[in-house]
Structure 1
Amino acid sequence: MKELPKLELHLHLEGAAPPEVIRELAAEKHVNLTGIFDETGAYRYKDFVDFLRVYEAACTVLQTPQDFYRLTRAVLAASAAEGVIYTEAFLSPDFCGGRDLVAWRDYLAAIEEAARDAEAADGIVLRGIVTCIRHFGPDKAKETALCAAETAGNFITGLGLAGDENMGAPKDFAYAFDMAREAELALTAHAGEWGGPQSVRDAWQDLGVSRIGHGVHAIQDPALMEALAKAGVVLEVCPGSNIALKVYEAWRDHPIDRLRRAGVPVTVSTDDPPFFHTTMSREYENLAHHFGWDLPEFAAISDTALDAAFCDAKTKTTLRAKLDATFGDLS
């Protein structure tokens, strides 16, 4: 599975931090992170809310642009080793200078430098989706959207919404998304992970997004699935994440295959891979084992991801050549 070329559209940069990188930074900066690692050195949390707490605690050691350079290189090296040729990472100005535009530019420059170095070394391409944190509230989301709009371009290509789905409603963030739309950024939002199918409908209709992060609870509403399929709204599905957080108890219960068979466009991603003990290769292995996916299915989801990717046509042409070299006429 590692040899198959993969495109990942749903990856949180900080959430993809290898635990050893966070521990190294904590030691260098004399930051006490007691309680966020288990006896094996992996991240430790009890549930989704506790996961957010541990996530944000780990981010406290990411204090400078150089820290984010190290983080980005480590994340991209790990992804490339799993066959990922293109990834879109959620980037949070909240953790990069506290949404201050001047500081954000410095952090972003370091992340872009790391992306260029990783592409030269490992052949992996990165694009950034600036991401509002839902539980930080709409006012801070406006500041985040301004950071996105002011740095939109070839590297920053989208705006997203992540965080606790139980906090507020998608329409509360409409102003931020309108700002991004005016800056010609592509749009995505987390929904339907913890909320029901109505949360997917609300994010899609109230924010005008072309993709939904997770979206798996759309499976409960046949009319919604039909509408998503007709409109071509893509679900960024992260099965391993959903199972680790007990959105579903086991792989056999996960709806990704049923969504795909219903015509809903789906892609596969890892979300926060070290937290959920997964990789893109492991996701593929589980899809093959539990649902019988083989080269035609993996070719199809790669096509969906390429079509939905928030990157320019030239980049897509290069990626298409890499996919065709493996999948050929199966795509």
Structure 2
Amino acid sequence: MVPKAELHCHIEGAAPPELVERQAQKYGKDISAFVRDGAFVWHDFTSFLATYDAAAGLFRTGEDYALLAEHYLTGLAREGALYSEIFISPDHARTAGLPPAKYTDALGEGIRRAKEKTGIEARMIVTGIRHYGPEAVEAAARFAADCRHRLVTGFGMAGEERFGDSRDYIRAFDIARDAGLGITVHAGELAGWESVAAALDHYRPSRIGHGVRAIENPDLVRKIADESVVLEVCPVSNVALQVFPDFAHHPFPQLRTAGCRLTLNSDDPPYFATSLAREYEVAAQHFGLTEGELAGITRVAIEAAFVDERTRARLLASLEQHTPDETKL
């Protein structure tokens, strides 16, 4: 099994339908409008966000979130993952009636339990929700900067990337950067290459969530490669949301040939009938990556992870140890 690492997964979006159903029973909620026959129901990005928010609203206590993080990371470890970064949302915590600090502590407890069981290492990336507006994103950045939780190591922005003017969010990223947090931002998914260019110009991230629409501008692709900006690519999500019609049209191979540093990620796995293991399988089956090249993708993720250097060195050593000799680069 090729060792894996993931940089792009929204923790609320990692809750499978069966866990959401148990939460609904716990709180006496009818979820038939968005969970049917053991699957989430949505038909476009707007309805996806609505379903996502409704399901997230069923996680309301610290123990709910600890269970969610433990459940996801334990399963991820079974797929061969050494490392995971989860996007966390103070806004979703507040909507659920949970103070963000308690939410973060609970997720940290879930991470601790998963590590104790499996050895998987994990960190949290606080995200602002773009379509909630600049003030909300800035508040999320301030929380990330001030919470001082040892597992909160980065800040990013998710949500509807076609909303608002990118310049209105600069202050939020400055707050996070000044606090020493790693910077990532969703761009170039549903919006075009201009979204990626604006993110690079205004926020100076070391990573871009998705970023695949950069393929529309060869000069931008060269800039991403030259500046070693890492792209958190989510192939199955991209096809499910019809960013590209199928894997044959996905630009992963072209971006890789151009010298871009790419990782593989599951985004919101149960919503897209995927997993981190499936993303690696897609890369092998549809993009032609060998096991050695897949191990190289994992190496890129660990090198780009928002961790201290001692942890990074340990993860890289573990990658080397768990990579079969015949697949090593």
With structure 2 as the length reference, what TM-score do the two structures score? 0.96
State whether structure 2 residue 270 is matched by structure 1 residue 287.
Answer: no
2:105 partner amino acid: A
The equivalent of 1:154 in structure 2 is: 150
Counterpart in the other structure of 2:271: 275
User: 2:83 matched to 1:108?
Assistant: no
Q: Which residue identity is paired with 2:53?
A: E
Equivalent residue number for residue 316 of structure 1: 312
Q: Indicate the residue corresponding to 2:54 in structure 1.
A: 57
Give the alignment partner of residue 26 of structure 2, picking from 3, 25, 28: 28
What does residue range 4-153 of structure 1 map to in structure 2 within 5 Å? 4-39=2-37, 41-98=38-95, 103-152=99-148
May I ask how many residue pairs the two structures share in their alignment?
A: 327
Match of 1:325 in 2: 321
In 2, Cα distance between the equivalents of 1:242 and 1:90? 18
SS in 1 for 2:128: strand
| CA distance in structure 2 between the partners assigned to 1:132 and 1:54 by the alignment | 19
* Structure 2 equivalent of residue 261 of structure 1: 257
Partner in structure 2 of residue 207 of structure 1: 203
Change (3 A) 1:80 1:259: same
- Which of 252, 258, 275 is equivalent to 2:248? 252
TM-score, scaled to structure 1: 0.95
RMSD: 1.5
Amino acid at match of 2:277: S
**Counterpart code for 1:16:** A
Moved more, 84-93 or 145-154: 145-154
Greater alpha carbon shift after TM alignment, 294-303 vs 57-66 = 294-303
Any conservation in 2 of the 1:232–1:264 contact (CA below 8 Å)? yes
The 5-angstrom pairing of residues 163-182 of structure 1 reads 163-182=159-178
C-alpha contact (below 8 Å) 2:154/2:182 kept by paired residues: yes
Specify the SS of the correspondent of 2:208: strand
- Identity of matched residues, %: 42
Letter in 2 for 1:50: S
Matched residue SS, 2:36: coil
Query: 1:153, CA displacement in angstroms?
Result: 5.0
Contact 2:58 2:96 in 1 (8 A): no
CA distance in 2, matches of 1:90, 1:152: 16
Paired residue type of 2:76: S
1:237 to 226, 230, 233: 233
Alpha-carbon distance change, 176 to 98 in structure 1, aligned in 2, over 3 angstroms: farther
- Unmatched segments (≥5 aa) in structure 1: none
User: How much does 1:156 deviate?
Assistant: 0.3
- Cα deviation, residue 88, structure 1: 0.4
Question: Matched residue of 2:47: which SS?
Answer: helix
Work out whether residues 212 and 251 of structure 2, in 8 Å CA contact, stay in contact via their aligned partners in 1.
Answer: yes
Which is worse superposed, 293-302 or 46-55? Answer: 293-302
Q: CA deviation at 1:66?
A: 1.2
C-alpha distance in 1 between matches for 2:95 and 2:285: 43
- Once residues 306 and 292 of structure 1 are traced to their aligned partners in structure 2, the CA distance between those partners, rounded to angstroms, is 22
Letter in 2 for 1:9: L
Q: CA deviation at 1:201?
A: 0.6
